[in-house]
Amino acid sequence: MEPLLPNEQRAKAAIMLIWIVMGLQIAAIGSNYLQYNLLKDALGSGSGSVTPGRIMLNDFRQLAISILFLAGYIFSTVTFIKWFRRAYANLHLRVNYLNHSEGWAAGCWFVPILNLYRPIQIMSELYKETDELLLKKKIISKSKYNATYITLWWILWILSGLVGNIFVHFSNSGNSIEALMSNTMGDIIVGLLTIPLGFVTIKVIKDYAAVEPLLALVPEEQPITPAGNPEPFSSSN
């Protein structure tokens, strides 16, 4: 029987980086709040509190947090997709036929339109098929499958992306104080949406990582090749 591919460290890395991104997001929200107050002071009666030093400090803080957040977000995205793909690859080793090749667990995130529904299809299949297999083989006695967090995870993911795109599309152009205040408030709102998304994503990873090792107790079955051409992205990395 072919052994499962190691995935525990990938799950831990994905969770750790999500925590880091959430921390950076909270820092970004705080920084944007300070910037909003700075802009409000500048729009006010001119009390003298808006000094060149305060402006320079604000710009440096915003730039530093933006760079750190972008780097953290990229690394977090990569580690999550690597965990997701490996989990689906392991299920392929124990289930006769799944609806998609394991490579689509990574590839679907990068295909426009498809990335609006294919990831949750694969995530739901990952949870459901694993649960049914473990029950069938009597490795667990009670179902552990709960679609609530998976559905909430995807709703928050779509919502945060949608709200972010709306703010980008309708954001005020120009360098007026009013436009900068509006854009800063939009960044704060989008940031607040990503916090619950982070918590739910961690929950989704932890729940599956807790049962994935049990697949090692399931005898391997011969894969069933579907009719027609195989899907792309089919290598196991």
Is pLDDT above 50 for 143? yes
Is pLDDT above 70 for 227? no
Is pLDDT above 70 for 237? no
Total H helices, total E strands in the chain: 6, 0
Q: What is the mean pLDDT of residues 81-109?
A: 93
Kindly write down the DSSP assignment for every residue of 127-181, as one continuous string.
Answer: HHHHHHHHHHTTS-SS----HHHHHHHHHHHHHHHHHHHHHHHHPPPSS-HHHHH
Taking the CA atoms of 211, 146, 141 and 94 in sequence, report the sign of the dihedral they define: negative
Return d(Cα 148, Cα 34) in angstroms, integer: 36
Is pLDDT above 60 for 225? no
What pLDDT does 219 receive? 66
pLDDT tens digit sequence for 51-66: 888 899 999 999 999 9
Is pLDDT above 60 for 72? yes
pTM: 0.86
Local confidence band at 83 (pLDDT 50, 70, 90 cut-offs)? very high
pLDDT tens digit sequence for 30-47: 999 999 999 988 887 555
Domain boundaries, the chain: 8-217
Structure tokens, 117: 């529904």
Q: How far is CA 66 from CA 31, 70, 97, 177, in A?
A: 10, 6, 43, 20
Return d(Cα 11, Cα 212) in angstroms, integer: 11
Region class of 11: left (phi > 0), else alpha (psi between -120 and 50), else beta: alpha
Angle at 128 between CA 126 and CA 131, to 5 degrees: 105
What pLDDT does 206 receive? 96
What pLDDT does 128 receive? 94
What pLDDT does 236 receive? 46
Question: Rounded to a whole number, what is the largest CA-CA distance in the chain?
Answer: 76
Residue showing tokens 């704060």 = 188
Question: How far out from the chain centre does Cα 87 lie?
Answer: 15
